[in-house]
């Protein structure tokens, strides 16, 4: 499948694309710059600084966004004001990295150590009352998390495991019965999204591609990119039929002039409407 380059290398570490009609289309993060990027209909990119790190974001049902920042969470109001919530931990060697909302409107975000120390990170959940809960720990590089169309299963990447995991989900029990969904070794799974048919699209960090796996965990489609560090993907456009893909320049040779650009592919599938934070 061919991809179209949508922007130049506007991000150092582009991540976490999200399409929401409520905020006018696509947003993503330049994570280590602490900036949220927005794509206008004419292709222009706006940039807004929200903290030392902008790791992940989702729209709020009341307007604005919930954002995972360096060591916790922040809330953007409909007027654009950003309120930093209290720090979840004090260790400056660990930062947030990726996140997403569950079917019940709660925001999950996982962390990683800056030096990627094994087992130093965890996944947290921000509830609508703004309380924070530990989901599980022992994580190395927490990455993409998204739910199946019916909301009964969740897919999750700890990049250091070289595998996509699947969990059972319900509101009270949370994520249970974790097991391997797809082994992607020697590739490193980064962000992921799920389409309306239940297919799981996985960005391959340093693998130069996005893979689609069927709900049974069988590889069936491949999108190749002209740059190596592919970080995340999401469905967008008015019909949610375009796959937007972010990339990074972090650790990439200067000769790769496309690293950090945003790409788009017509993959013949439709995504799911973004799940919003209800807090």
Sign of the Cα pseudo-torsion (221, 234, 259, 140, in order): negative
pLDDT for residue 112 is more than 90: yes
**CA distance readout (Å), 153 to 47, 84, 103, 167:** 34, 31, 10, 6
Half-sphere exposure of 222 (CA within 13 A, CB side): 8
Environment class of residue 45 by beta-carbon count within 10 Å: exposed (0-12), middle (13-18) or buried (19+)? Answer: middle
The domain limits of the chain are 3-265
Distance CA 268, CA 279 (A): 34
Spatial separation of the C-alpha atoms in residues 203 and 208, rounded to whole Å: 8
Is the predicted pLDDT of residue 2 greater than 90, yes or no?
Answer: no
Going 250 to 113 to 159 to 263, the CA torsion angle's sign is: negative
Compute the distance between CA of residue 263 and CA of residue 271 in angstroms, rounded to an integer.
Answer: 16
Mean pLDDT, residues 45-50: 96
In terms of C-beta density within 10 A (0-12 exposed, 13-18 middle, 19 or more buried), how is residue 233 classed?
buried
Render pLDDT for 246-256 as a digit per residue (tens, 0 to 9). Answer: 999 999 999 99
Give per-residue pLDDT as tens, 70-96.
999 999 999 999 999 999 999 999 999
Single pTM value for the model: 0.97
State the pLDDT confidence band at 109, using cuts at 50, 70 and 90: very high
User: Residue 26's pLDDT is what?
Assistant: 98
- By annotation, the residues acting in catalysis are 190
pLDDT tens-digit profile of 221-265? 999 999 999 999 999 999 999 999 999 999 999 999 999 999 999
Average pLDDT of the residues of the chain: 97
Which of 236, 186, 266 has its CA nearest to residue 28? 236
CATH numeric code, 3-265: 2.120.10.30
Q: Look at residue 1 in the predicted model and tell me its pLDDT.
A: 74
Confidence band, pLDDT 50/70/90 cuts, at residue 184 = very high
pLDDT above 90: residue 41? no
């Amino acid at each position: 499948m061919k991809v179209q380059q949508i922007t130049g290398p506007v991000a150092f570490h582009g991540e976490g694309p999200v399409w929401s009609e409520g905020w006018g289309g696509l947003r993503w993060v330049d994570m280590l710059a602490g900036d949220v990027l927005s794509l206008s209909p004419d292709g222009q990119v706006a940039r807004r600084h929200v903290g030392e790190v902008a790791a992940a974001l989702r729209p709020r049902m009341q307007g604005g966004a919930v954002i995972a920042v360096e060591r916790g969470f922040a809330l953007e109001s409909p007027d654009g004001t950003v309120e930093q919530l209290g720090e979840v931990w004090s260790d400056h060697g660990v930062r947030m990295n990726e996140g997403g909302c569950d079917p019940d409107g709660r925001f999950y975000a996982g962390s990683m150590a800056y030096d990627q120390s094994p087992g130093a990170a965890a996944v947290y959940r921000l509830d609508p009352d703004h309380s924070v809960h530990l989901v599980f720990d022992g994580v190395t590089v927490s990455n993409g998390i998204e739910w199946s169309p019916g909301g009964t299963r969740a897919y999750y990447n700890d990049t250091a495991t070289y595998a996509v995991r699947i969990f059972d989900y319900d509101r009270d029990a949370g994520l249970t019965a974790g097991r391997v969904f797809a082994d992607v070794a020697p590739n490193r799974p980064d962000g992921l999204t799920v389409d309306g048919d239940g297919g799981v699209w996985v960005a391959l960090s340093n693998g130069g591609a996005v893979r689609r796996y069927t709900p049974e965990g069988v590889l069936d489609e491949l999108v190749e990119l002209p740059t190596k560090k592919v970080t995340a993907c999401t469905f967008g456009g008015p019909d949610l039929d375009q796959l937007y893909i972010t990339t990074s320049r972090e650790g990439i040779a200067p000769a790769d002039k496309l690293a950090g650009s945003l790409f788009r592919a017509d993959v013949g599938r439709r995504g799911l409407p973004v799940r919003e934070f209800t807090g």
